[in-house]
Copies of this chain bind each other. A is one copy, B any other.
């Protein structure tokens, strides 16, 4: 009948000290492996601690030890997108090596949620922040960032903040994709893009425009569908494009969500336009989809390293890193012109009677900004 809450109280250092018959300070020293403690005493304290089920209270420690916090907080927009998950994984690995813990909050693209998460981190005095922002402005971060809470923005720049950033070379990447389509002879090129408010989107669209303009090909705005929110929206957008009287002969999708939607729309159809996307994804190779490949793992790693420098006290002006992208050509953008006749449909899980396998290695070219070693290509999955 005694409240079950009682059992929920964890023992304190004081209780451990009492049980071991030493002062609280000695217990503290023993448990933290500090010097100047007799081995026998230390053992006694440790035994008492584990007997009582002691677990140090980092709230108290960090409060007292000021700053402290061996935690880095990260906000990502969409956990179900492996792209962000890979960034987080790589960042966590780097941070973990340095003894820091990475805690991730998922905003699900909701600006209000992002703000709550960041506040939660800040109010708990994390050592630093890694953010993939879904917001256009960051008023709450202004004073913090200026005050010096180390912060690194990933994938999407913070227009209103002077913080370190790691971005992809979106413009060059998109331009490379469209250049490739142009080389294949396409002139009616469509685009399926996500929220127009995203800087990444802007840059990619700018790349498309530049490629077309420089090639002297008219920019067919009527074939650009933007402000698409997710894969479902992209699927609808693609269907829409296909019903036009003069549908595009090639479509560029601005990220992996858009690509998935577009793929769904063309699944099991035969009047396919050529397809190329920004962001490599796990099954792109299986599906034979050409992409502008980038390395989320590299982004996470670089971001974490930059953050570490700041956490360690590094100062100096904010930096912006642009990571190179790479064009990976697969079957989806091989035009009839280049094909030597015959059947080169993607046969994946559809079963059929025996037939000869068909080689056709992907063509790969490196493009865009420098600053990074020639990243991995092809399969497009992290390989640590």
A350 at the interface (CB under 8 A from B): yes
Q: Report B-chain residues with C-beta under 8 Å of the C-beta of A334.
A: 351
Whether the pair B93, A88 counts as a contact (CB closer than 8 A) is no
Are B285 and A267 neighbours in the complex by a CB distance under 8 Å? yes
A383 to chain B, nearest CB (A): 8
The complex places the Cα of A113 from the Cα of B216 at a distance, in Å, of: 55
Q: A195 in the interface, Cβ–Cβ < 8 Å?
A: no
Q: Is the CB of A108 within 8 A of B80?
A: no
- The reply to whether A348 and B266 contact each other, CB–CB distance below 8 Å, is yes
What 0/1 readout, one digit per residue, does chain A (141-162) give for beta carbons within 8 Å of chain B? 0011011110000000000000
Smallest Cβ distance from A297 to chain B, in angstroms?
9
> Once the chains bind, are A80 and B382 in contact (CB under 8 Å)?
yes
From B92, B270, B313, B379, give the contact of A356 (CB < 8 A).
B270
B71 lies within 8 A of A79 (CB): no
A223 to chain B, nearest CB (A): 18
A373 contacts partner chain B, Cβ-Cβ < 8 Å: no
Centre residue among A102, A106, A381 by max chain B CB count within 10 A = A106
Tell me the chain A residues, 269-295 only, with Cβ under 8 Å from chain B: 269-272, 274-275, 282-283, 285-289
- Tell me which residues from 51 to 67 in chain A have a Cβ below 8 Å from any Cβ of chain B: 53, 55-60, 62-63, 67
- CB distance B346 to A349 under 8 Å? yes
| A33: Cβ under 8 A from any B Cβ | no
In this assembly, does A7 line the interface, its C-beta being within 8 Å of a C-beta of chain B? yes
- Interface flags for A101-132 (1: CB within 8 Å of B; 0: not) read 11111101000010011011011110000000
In the complex, per-residue mask of A62-92: 1 if CB is within 8 Å of any chain B CB, else 0: 1100010001010000011110011011001
* Interface membership of chain A positions 1-27, coded 1 if the CB is closer than 8 angstroms to chain B and 0 otherwise: 000110110100000000000000000
User: Counting chain B CB atoms within 10 Å of each CB, which of A57, A122, A287 scores highest?
Assistant: A287
Residues of B within 8 A of A263 (CB): 283, 286, 348-349
Selected contact of A88 from candidates B106, B120, B269, B348, CB within 8 Å: B106
Chain B: minimal CB distance from A95 (Å) = 11
Q: Does A96 contact B (CB under 8 A)?
A: yes
Asked whether A355 is an interface residue with its Cβ less than 8 Å from the other chain, the reply is yes
Check: A238 CB closer than 8 A to any chain B CB: no
Q: Assess whether B270 is in contact with A285, with CB atoms less than 8 Å apart.
A: no
Please report the total number of A residues contacting B with Cβ < 8 Å.
98
Which of A147, A288, A331, A349 is the most central at the interface, judged by chain B CB atoms within 10 Å of its CB? A349
Contact indicator per residue, chain A 198-226, by CB within 8 Å of chain B (1) or not (0):
00000000000000000000000000000
Collect the chain B residues with CB atoms within 8 Å of residue A63's CB: 57, 59-60, 63
**A352:B344 contact, CB within 8 angstroms:** yes
Of the residues B103, B268, B336, contact of A358 by C-beta under 8 Å: B268
Output the least CB separation between A177 and chain B (Å): 15
Residues of A within 8 A of B (CB): 4-5, 7-8, 10, 53, 55-60, 62-63, 67, 71, 73, 79-82, 85-86, 88-89, 92-93, 96, 101-106, 108, 113, 116-117, 119-120, 122-125, 143-144, 146-149, 231, 260, 263-264, 266-272, 274-275, 282-283, 285-289, 313, 315, 330-332, 334-336, 343-358, 360, 379, 381-382
Contacts A56-B123, A267-B286, A288-B348 known; 18 new A-B pairs at CB < 8 A: A4-B315, A8-B67, A55-B122, A59-B63, A79-B79, A79-B89, A82-B82, A92-B105, A93-B108, A101-B116, A101-B117, A266-B349, A267-B346, A269-B347, A270-B355, A270-B356, A334-B351, A347-B350
